[in-house]
Chains A and B, each alone.
Chain A
Amino acid sequence: MVFSKKSIHFIIATLVAILPLFGNANTNDTLPVKHEAIAVAEAGKTEVKELSEKDKEAEERKEFIQHHLLDSHDFHLFSYQDDAKVEHHVGFPLPVILWDGGLRVFSSSAFHHGEKAAESNGSFYRLHHEKIYKVNSAEEELTLNEEHHPTNAKPFDLSITKNVFMMLIVSLLIFLLFRSLAKSYAKNGGVAAGAGRFFEPIVLYIRDEIAIPNIGEKHYKKYMSHLLTVFFFIWFLNIFGLTPLGINVTGNIAITACLAIVTYIITTLTANKNYWGHIFWMPGVPVPMKIILAPIELLGTIIKPFSLMIRLYANIVAGHIVLMSLIGLMFLFKSWLGSSLSFGLSFAISLIEILVALLQAYIFTMLSALYFGSAVEEHHHEEAHH
């Protein structure tokens, strides 16, 4: 085995790979309590009761996974119950910024994890499934319709949520990291040092294997900044999503949509005559066909960034759901065999997820480069026709 000489490295790599398991396994501590409650229940009624309790547990697990996938207004690390069965939440609040006839800024700790209404300048707000609704007084509950959606008014929410917070952190990290790398080149006479030895080959790979073959020698330079930023931003966020922090930024469709829209805007603004010619008046096909192709091609320009958005979002969300469901199996089996099996399975899946984290960043960058390439492609059809 290759790792045999570097056993320490292997152990560290394994620990890093296991990390997401700890992070995602922050399940409610109420689960074991529920289990005891089932055992205590009378023998006669157990069969009926156990089923409903099991359903309840399944429901709880589902809710937990959904909660993990959602954005939130506070940075929640884990919860536990003390001996007196009082629930404690560990984490820190984030600022809530609302536009509701004026700017309102307060800490999300005012919500008390959704249990109380927050007050700001005489207005009261309540949290329901991580969305903020307006209520008239501190005591008033939200009015729910048949589908359990609140009918209360929603203020315009500009809060620094967990996802925004994490994006700011990653942006800062990337900025500091690559700034210091750029400076280290000047210091060492053009040779990478430290972390640069790791990142330089990746940057070169994006330039030589993604940008130049897809965009071309002539135009690639002006797209490099976007490609590198998008690659590292998505990659770092994907990796952070696998850590015990339990964040799910790239699995939020709004964020992938913004990334895709940026790609779309750059493609559209930098496109040359040839690109628009291929969309509205496809060369080399009969005229009736040109008319049929124009709307299809026009739609295609929107479908391309749309598929970028869906691909990244769906891959990350699917990965998180699979991982958390496998961890949920441990609580479902409640036996050493099933639990250790699902541990092994979730370990294998987390290894795959580390690969997917890199692969999705690569694919997003690659396809962006492909679209940029099609936008600046030079006219070379004339020779082919003669």
Chain B
Amino acid sequence: MEIPKIVGAGLVVIGAGIGIGRIGGSAMDAIARQPEATGKIQTAMLIAAALIEGIGFAALFAV
């Protein structure tokens, strides 16, 4: 019972990592296209990253 739990948590963390990575990458692209909107993009990026991070932590604590 212990191993599937750990593997599941690992999968969730991988998913969360990919998600945050994609947010960061897209934010970089957006900033490169529109440097004047850097502040707004960063704010939106941080919020989205924080929401995904919450799911990652929830998975870790569920183990």
Query: Which B residues lie within 8 Å of A310 (CB)?
Result: 54, 57-58, 61
- B47 CB to closest chain A CB (Å) equals 6
CB contact between B46 and one of A307, A314, A318, A363 (< 8 Å): that residue: A363
Q: Which residues of chain B (1-56) have a CB below 8 Å from chain A? A: 39, 43, 46-47, 50-51, 53-54
- A228 close to B (CB within 8 Å): no
Do B57 and A314 touch (CB < 8 A)?
yes
CB contact between A314 and one of B39, B43, B51, B60 (< 8 Å): that residue: B60
Q: Which residues of chain A (268-309) have a CB below 8 Å from chain B? A: 307
Do A366 and B46 touch (CB < 8 A)?
yes
Do B46 and A359 touch (CB < 8 A)?
yes
Query: Which B residues lie within 8 Å of A314 (CB)?
Result: 57, 60-61
Q: Measured between alpha carbons, how far is A278 from B50 in the docked complex, in Å? A: 24
Query: Which B residues lie within 8 Å of A318 (CB)?
Result: 57
Do B46 and A311 touch (CB < 8 A)?
no
Interface centre among A209, A307, A362 (most CB of B within 10 A): A307
CB contact between A307 and one of B39, B43, B51 (< 8 Å): that residue: B51
Residue of A nearest to B39 (CB): A209
Interface size on B, residues (CB 8 A): 12
Interface centre among B39, B43, B57, B58 (most CB of A within 10 A): B57
- Scan A134-176; emit 1 where CB is below 8 A from any B CB, else 0: 0000000000000000000000000000000000000000000
Residue of A nearest to B47 (CB): A366
CB contact between A209 and one of B43, B47, B51 (< 8 Å): that residue: B43
Residue of B nearest to A360 (CB): B50
- A370 close to B (CB within 8 Å): yes
Q: Measured between alpha carbons, how far is A367 from B50 in the docked complex, in Å? A: 9
- B57 CB to closest chain A CB (Å) equals 4
Interface residues of B (CB under 8 A from A): 39, 43, 46-47, 50-51, 53-54, 57-58, 60-61
Q: List 24 A-B residue pairs with CB atoms under 8 Å apart, sorted by A's residue number.
A: A209-B39, A209-B43, A307-B51, A307-B54, A307-B58, A310-B57, A310-B58, A310-B61, A311-B50, A311-B54, A311-B57, A314-B60, A315-B53, A315-B57, A318-B57, A359-B46, A363-B46, A363-B47, A363-B50, A366-B46, A366-B47, A367-B47, A367-B50, A370-B47
Interface residues of A (CB under 8 A from B): 209, 307, 310-311, 314-315, 318, 359, 362-363, 366-367, 370
Q: A209-B43, A359-B46, A363-B50 provided; 9 other pairs, C-beta below 8 A?
A: A209-B39, A307-B54, A310-B54, A310-B58, A310-B61, A315-B53, A315-B57, A366-B46, A366-B50
